[in-house]
Amino acid sequence: MENPNENLVANNFIKTIITEDLKVNKNGGKVHTRFPPEPNGYLHIGHAKSICLNFGLAKEFGGITNLRFDDTNPVKEDVEYVDSIQEDVKWLGFDWDDRKYYASDYFDKLYEYAVQLIKMGLAYVCEQTPEEIRANRGTLTEPGKPSPWRDRSVEENLDLFERMKNGEFEDGTHTLRAKIDMASPNINMRDPVTYRIKKMNHHRTGDKWCIYPMYDFTHCLSDMLEGITHSICTLEFEDHRPLYDWYLKVLKTPCHPQQIEFARLNINYLVMSKRKLRQLVMENYVSGWDDPRMPTICGFRRRGYTPAAIRNFAERIGVTKAESIVDYSVLEFCIREDLNKVATRRMAVINPLKVTIENYPDDLHDDELDAINNPEDQNAGSRKVKFSKVIYIERDDFMENPPKKFFRLAPGKEVRLRYAYFITCKEVIKDANGEVVELICTYDPASRGGNSPDGRRVQGTIHWVSAEFGRKAEVRMYDNLFLTENPDVAPEGKTFLDNLNPDSLKTIEAWVEPALMDAKPSEKFQFERVGYFCADSIDSKPDTPVFNRTVGLRDSWAKMKK
């Protein structure tokens, strides 16, 4: 069985750092974090981990969190992404109050800091092409070669940098580089580019700028300008930390946030790179960023996942410095755990088999039975479900030649219909191909409500939908989007797209009980014995509901791996 608790980290190392900082009254006892997405795509479950961590830590320690759009790259950014990011953070249950910032808000200040670096003799305008810069950077074992422009005078650098800003030079001809150490064992410290020319329109600053600051320069100064105390990021930035600290130190900034790195979230069977997710959307492998098979927050939302479940998941997997891959079943465990509490129970038959109850009165059309809406929630109450002479049951709940331990319906066997009656199978009707098309049964009127009239036991209980009162509804049976545990790995000549699961969506027509006809968009249900479903937030309409399968009732993944 699954044991998600094995990943549980009670007290993560970042909490320990913050606790120590608070003890010595570092930062005046303040905790101020930020979530800094680049608005170049929709947020995914990996971002959810970062959101829960940043907002969660601040909450726990009485601090605050900023939302900051890291929009230094004018190429791929879009207002659509800015809007969706805010929607998703809020949906997860977090709030930045009035602290929504954009790195681009700081472009003027950053420019001034760059001028200061030049004046201190710590930055220079370099005329090497990006290729030359790369070629001269050296390797892990060899130092880099200093740029021929490294020793220009401060005046010349100030003049050239201003002319870069004024648009006198073309893209790729000039950069501003920090003058640090071309022989540093850390390649990030080998005179990193601080500004580059990009004659491009920016979604917020328009055509004001044709030079844009690089991430490393922007990030530490944005953190500093916002008074961030703990700047939490993923492990790939560990080697950038010396540069983060260098800029703040040489510029003698009034405060110096602490960068702390943690291992990013990886989950098997999912891809989590925005570039790949964008490709799935742009090339129509999925219906959009919010396709219920996408590991995006909006995809999970449409699939029927809940914010509480995702927050629990983030807590459960913990925070470490060691890279690992979390099993998808842990996420599904958290979804089920939450849906079990909140989902309304209903009956739906996914793969119907007709059952006629021969001794049920032909003229009985108002036989209303009581059905409980949610055994986990007393307040959910009950509903009436009408029974009828002809019903549908799940094809899987009948076997003509059952093995010994099969407790559902079989010729001559008796079974309980949930909330209704005991029925016994008398006759099996087949079509010309030998396929079972109908069962003729009898019922025991004295077992009304599903209660044994005389103490006799039936072992199986199955669900059903009335053929007279039930309705047909579209159900989208989602399965994992990729067939392989690590979809990013593909054989020579293939890509992650070759690992797509061709059967990740099967649309079927199910028989559902009438109460499901009024399903509200996004409403969550447990189809008893089948799984968790939700009404699609876009396509489901009153009287023509559409249901998405959120997750099965049990861990089907554990079974698969055996």
36 interface partner picked from ligand ATP, Mg ion, none, CB below 5 to 8 A per type: ligand ATP
37 belongs to the binding site for ligand ATP (CB under 6 A): yes
Considering only residues 27, 50, 374, 499, which one is a binding residue for ligand ATP as defined by CB under 6 A? 50
Considering only residues 18, 33, 42, 46, which one is a binding residue for ligand ATP as defined by CB under 6 A? 46
At closest approach, how far in Å is the CB of 45 from ligand ATP? 8
Stretch that binds ligand ATP, among 35-43, 99-107, 141-149, 301-309 (CB under 6 A): 35-43
274 is an active site residue = yes
Q: Which residue is nearest to ligand ATP (CB)?
A: 46
545 interface partner picked from ligand ATP, Mg ion, none, CB below 5 to 8 A per type: none
Considering only residues 16, 273, 452, 495, which one is a binding residue for ligand ATP as defined by CB under 6 A? 273
> Left if phi > 0, otherwise alpha if psi is -120 to 50, otherwise beta: which for 450?
left
> Left if phi > 0, otherwise alpha if psi is -120 to 50, otherwise beta: which for 263?
beta
Task: Report the alpha-carbon distance of residue 177 to residue 185 in Å, rounded.
Answer: 18
CB 551 within 8 A of CB 372: no
At closest approach, how far in Å is the CB of 265 from Mg ion? 14
Q: Please, which residue, 64 or 390, has the CB nearer to ligand ATP?
A: 64
At 473, list the tokens.
Answer: 């509804």
Q: What b/e string do you get for 298-315 counting C-beta neighbours within 10 Å, with b at 16 or more?
A: bbbbbbbbbbbbbbbbbb
Per DSSP, helices labelled H in 209-349 are 215-225, 241-250, 274-282, 297-303, 307-317, 328-342
296 belongs to the binding site for ligand ATP (CB under 6 A): no
Stretch that binds ligand ATP, among 168-176, 270-278, 468-476, 551-559 (CB under 6 A): 270-278
Considering only residues 179, 274, 345, 463, which one is a binding residue for ligand ATP as defined by CB under 6 A? 274
Considering only residues 58, 133, 176, 265, which one is a binding residue for ligand ATP as defined by CB under 6 A? 265
Residues 17 to 76 in contact with Mg ion, rule: CB under 5 A: 38
Q: Name, in order, each residue with C-beta under 8 angstroms of 69's C-beta and a sequence gap of 6 or more.
A: 36, 37, 38, 39, 82, 85, 100, 101, 102, 103, 104
Task: Report the alpha-carbon distance of residue 490 to residue 499 in Å, rounded.
Answer: 7
Total number of residues binding Mg ion (CB under 5 A)? 1
Q: Please, which residue, 50 or 218, has the CB nearer to ligand ATP?
A: 50
At closest approach, how far in Å is the CB of 36 from ligand ATP? 5
Q: What b/e string do you get for 259-287 counting C-beta neighbours within 10 Å, with b at 16 or more?
A: bbbbbbbebbbbbbebebbeebbeeeebe
CB 356 within 8 A of CB 429: no
36 belongs to the binding site for ligand ATP (CB under 6 A): yes
At closest approach, how far in Å is the CB of 232 from ligand ATP? 7
Query: What residue type is assigned to position 270 of the chain?
Result: L
264 belongs to the binding site for ligand ATP (CB under 6 A): yes
Which candidate in 15, 26, 38, 204 is catalytic? 38
At closest approach, how far in Å is the CB of 69 from ligand ATP? 9
Task: Report the alpha-carbon distance of residue 210 to residue 207 in Å, rounded.
Answer: 7
264 is an active site residue = yes
What is the contact mask toward ligand ATP in residues 213 to 252, using x (rule: CB under 6 A)? --------------------xx------------------
264 interface partner picked from Mg ion, ligand ATP, none, CB below 5 to 8 A per type: ligand ATP
Q: Please, which residue, 289 or 547, has the CB nearer to ligand ATP?
A: 289
Strand ordering across the sheet containing 211-213: 123-126, 175-178, 193-197, 211-213
Q: Please, which residue, 29 or 288, has the CB nearer to ligand ATP?
A: 288
64-69/100-102 β-pairing = parallel
Q: What is the largest CA-CA distance in the chain?
A: 102
554 is an active site residue = no
Q: Please, which residue, 67 or 409, has the CB nearer to Mg ion?
A: 67
At 356, list the tokens.
Answer: 């006629």
At closest approach, how far in Å is the CB of 40 from ligand ATP? 7
Beta bridge partners of 500: 482
Task: Report the alpha-carbon distance of residue 91 to residue 294 in Å, rounded.
Answer: 17
Which candidate in 204, 264, 354, 418 is catalytic? 264
Phi, psi of 138 (to 5 degrees): 80, -170
292 belongs to the binding site for ligand ATP (CB under 6 A): no
Q: Please, which residue, 38 or 181, has the CB nearer to Mg ion?
A: 38
Query: What residue type is assigned to position 554 of the chain?
Result: R
Q: Which residues are catalytic?
A: 38, 264, 274
Q: Which residues bind Mg ion (CB under 5 A)?
A: 38
Q: Which residues bind ligand ATP (CB under 6 A)?
A: 36-38, 46-47, 49-50, 233-234, 264-265, 272-274
